[in-house]
Amino acid sequence: MKTLKYIVIAAAAALVFASCNNDPKLSGIESESMRIAYGYKGAVAAYPKPWNCTDYQFSYKSNNEDIVLVDEKYGTLTTEGLGSTTVTVTCGSYSVDVPVEVYTDIPEEIWGYQIGDLIQDKLSNGLNGLWEFNKRHAMEATVGKDLVPHYPDSNGSRGPVSDDGYDWLTGFHPFDGAILTKYNACFELYCNLTSSLVYTFMIDAMRPSATSDNRYTTFLNWNQDNAADQYIYWRKDGCFQFGGSGDYRSGSEYFSNDKWFRMVFLMDQPNGIQKVFANGEKILDVASPNGTGFLPFTDMVLLNGDNDGDDAPLYYTTVAVWDRALTDAEVATLGEPVTY
């Protein structure tokens, strides 16, 4: 009986060994088309043929990374934009294109409106720079030169080039990119201005209360080495100000934390004009041809730069610069952030 028992065990072991070494070979790749909602993740719908084949390793490649990104090894999808594309799945000599459609239930009047598109369609005259903080390439320019990020060194200057000074996230619009800066981070912004005293800046920004209560938050510094005080900024009392102490500011408590504002600052020094708009409303309209408020900008300024710590974290989602002063009607075209 003991001998028979060992024979049975040995036979069973032989069967297991044989099954492990006789897995069916891959004979193809089966797939299904996919629909995935924007903002969600998924796995590419591709399977081995036959279904019980285990001796294979797929690789994945997106054929339009503006619509979906895909993990090369694991096939995890991340949506980037709306539309249709394919993901190519490959193993050895076998390959298949998996159709992928990214859709949204957000109404078209919401997802169809992006300020960067509006600027390029209706306000392209004199547009020298547009930055939209794309998810994969946050510093990449839509128009003009890429931003160059810096993070401070021990001397308090603008610091070395570094991506450590910001985190990427979604903006107020579901298809917009944004960044959240860190304390003292700054970004080289190239204006390419014909005249250092005629220009317009538009900046979509939000100040988070968690880190910015009772602090100043900086938009622009004219000094390229970050060796001077900020020039365009939100004061801690809710005012908007440009220039140094005693220059021009809006009323206190105008700006609140945790809310997006579209700031438009324009200058036309030859005609003695300086105007500031917030969410389409004119909050400053001053003329001072000889005042320090008419500080000329150079070809490069620092976004979010300040020399003494008045650059608390800010969210940025769109920044644009024009080589001219926009008219009031053009500023009205920009309007205010459309949230969803």
Per-residue model confidence as pLDDT tens digits over 234-266: 998 899 998 866 678 888 889 999 999 999 999
Q: Does 189 reside within a domain?
A: yes
Per-residue pLDDT, averaged over 16-39, amounts to: 76
Same domain, 149 and 31: no
Domain span holding position 68: 21-103
For residue 10, tell me if it sits in a domain. no
- On whether both 165 and 207 belong to a single domain, the answer is yes
Query: Both tokens of residue 88?
Result: 């190519």
**Which residue from 195, 241, 196 is spatially nearest to 220, judged by alpha carbons?**
241
The residue that leads in pLDDT, 39 or 321, is: 321
- Residue 14 pLDDT class (50, 70, 90 cuts): very low
pLDDT band at 288 (very low <50, low <70, confident <90, very high): low
Domain shared by 71 and 112, yes or no: no
* DSSP letter for each residue of 133-196: --SS-TT-EEESSPPEEE---TTSSS-SB-GGGEEEEE-SSTT-EEEEE-TT-EEEEE---SST
Residues 77 and 209 in one domain: no
The pLDDT of residue 135 is: 77
Give yes or no: residues 147 and 296 share one domain.
yes
Give the model confidence (pLDDT) of 108-121 as tens digits: 776 777 899 899 99
> Does 164 map to a domain?
yes
Mean pLDDT confidence for 9-32: 61
Residue 220 has pLDDT above 70, yes or no: yes
Q: Could you tell me if 302 and 161 lie in one domain? A: yes
pLDDT-derived band at 12 (thresholds 50, 70, 90) equals: very low
Q: Which of 79, 103, 127 is the last residue of a domain?
A: 103
Q: State the CATH number of the domain containing residue 311.
A: 2.60.120.200
Total domains in the chain come to 2
Instruction: Select from 68, 103, 138 the last residue of a domain.
Output: 103
Q: For 223-234, how does the pLDDT look when each residue is reduced to its tens digit (9 = 90+)? A: 888 888 888 999
- CATH for 31: 2.60.40.1080
For residue 336, is pLDDT > 90? no
Looking at residue 252, its pLDDT comes to: 86
Residues 41 and 58 in one domain: yes
169-192 pLDDT, tens per residue? 888 887 888 999 998 899 999 999
In terms of Cα–Cα distance, which of 51, 58, 62, 61 is closest to 92?
58
Average pLDDT, integer, range 125-152 = 93
User: DSSP string covering 270-319, please?
Assistant: GGTEEEEEETTEEEEEE--TTSTT-PPP-SEEEET--SSS-----EEEEE
Domain boundary residue among 103, 130, 160? 103
- d(CA 221, CA 198) in angstroms, rounded, equals 16
User: What pLDDT score does 20 carry?
Assistant: 36
φ/ψ (deg, to 5) at 238 = 90, 5
Residues 87 and 156 in one domain: no
Q: Looking at the structure, do residues 86 and 139 belong to the same domain, yes or no?
A: no
